[in-house]
Structure 1
Amino acid sequence: MFRRLTAFAVLIWSLGFLWFAVALPGPLPANVKTDAIIVLTGSQGRIEHAMAVLAAGKAPDLLVSGVDREVRPREFAVQFKVPARLMRCCVTLGYRAYDTRSNAVEAAQWVAEHDAKSVRLVTADWHMRRAALEIAREFPDSVRLELDGVPSHPSFGTLFLEYHKLLARAGLNLWEWLR
């Protein structure tokens, strides 16, 4: 009996990991507009993609969550080639977040301050599911979350670690719900 349960658990874990690794969330269609964009700092391409979406007029405001405290707005603008006009009107650098959980808290506060009803979440495709889980947990039900995964080429190790982080977070959510 124990062997069967163990084999079943390994099968479920394996199928879940296969789904996680193969069906990574992709980019949103180009025509989708939202009230705001939130991009989580991290791997290459995230901020560049969010800036392109902002410049294309798909949303009026952008929060860059998880910016290092030592990065000044001017340095950010130079590094990511952000026109001064966009930096002044539309880009907020968020310095309070240091991990995905605190990104969610920072994002929820910013969304409330900006009265956004729809938000485009930009992060790496492999990070999207856990980021969306954390953010949806903090956002009110009235805010529509659109997932805009930035395509990447994650290593097996990155996928393995992120899958387990997602399982742990989902398990904690379930535990809190059951209590």
Structure 2
Amino acid sequence: MIRRVFSVMFLVWAIGFLWFAVALPKPAGDAATDAVIVPTGGPGRIARGLEVLDQGWADKMLVSGVDREVRPQEFAAEFAVEPERMACCVTLGFAAVDTRSNAAETAKWVAQNEVRSLRLVTTDWHMRRAAGELDRTLPDHVTVIRDAVPSQPDLGTLFLEYHKLIASRAAGLAEL
């Protein structure tokens, strides 16, 4: 009996991992939102967030989880952001250190800026967990569009992120 239970659990885990690895989220289209949110941590994320601003798909951007050592001028220089664009439209968030605190930092910024819709820009393998944390943290009236940055994750990255997703969802269920 115990062997069957473990076999079923392993089968569910394996099918889930296969789905997670094969069906990575995709980039979003050109839908407009009030803001774009970019958690730091993966290549291409900030560039995509700035592209969203440049295309006029959002008016402002929060970069969540920026290292406390980074100064706005350094950020602007590294990503070729004009001073006017930094002043009007780009907020650097220094409070977050992980995906859960990215969601908390985002929720606070969303409330302060009266954001009703946002575009979440993160790496494809990170999207499900980041969006799940936001879903648990943001008010129900805030719409989130998922805009995944395509990547070529290795098996180790997928394996680790799949388990983080499982843990995140389990923690979310425990909070209910």
TM range (shorter): over 0.9
Gaps of 5+ in 2: none
CA RMSD of aligned residues (A): 0.7
1:4 matched residue in structure 2: 4
Whether 1:80 aligns to 2:82 is no
Deviation at 1:176, TM superposition (A): 2.1
Letter in 2 for 1:101: R
2:134 matched residue in structure 1: 135
1:169 matched residue in structure 2: 168
1:23 matched residue in structure 2: 23
2:36 matched residue in structure 1: 37
Report matched runs for 1:97-112 at 5 Å.
Answer: 97-112=96-111
Letter in 2 for 1:78: A
The DSSP-based 3-state class of the residue aligned with 1:37 is strand
1-structure distance, mates of 2:100, 2:7: 33
Deviation at 1:85, TM superposition (A): 1.8
Structure 1 stretches (4+) deviating beyond 6 angstroms? none
Deviation at 1:84, TM superposition (A): 1.6
Gaps of 5+ in 1: none
1:120 matched residue in structure 2: 119
1-structure distance, mates of 2:121, 2:82: 20
2-structure distance, mates of 1:70, 1:38: 20
Matched length: 176
Whether 1:65 aligns to 2:64 is yes
> Percent sequence identity over matched residues?
57
Letter in 2 for 1:150: V
Letter in 1 for 2:167: A
2-structure distance, mates of 1:45, 1:14: 29
2-structure distance, mates of 1:93, 1:136: 21
> CA-to-partner distance for each residue in 1:31-63, whole Å, 9 max, x for gaps?
210000000001110000100111111000100
2:146 matched residue in structure 1: 147
1:96 matched residue in structure 2: 95
Q: TM-score, normalised by structure 2?
A: 0.98
1-structure distance, mates of 2:26, 2:93: 25
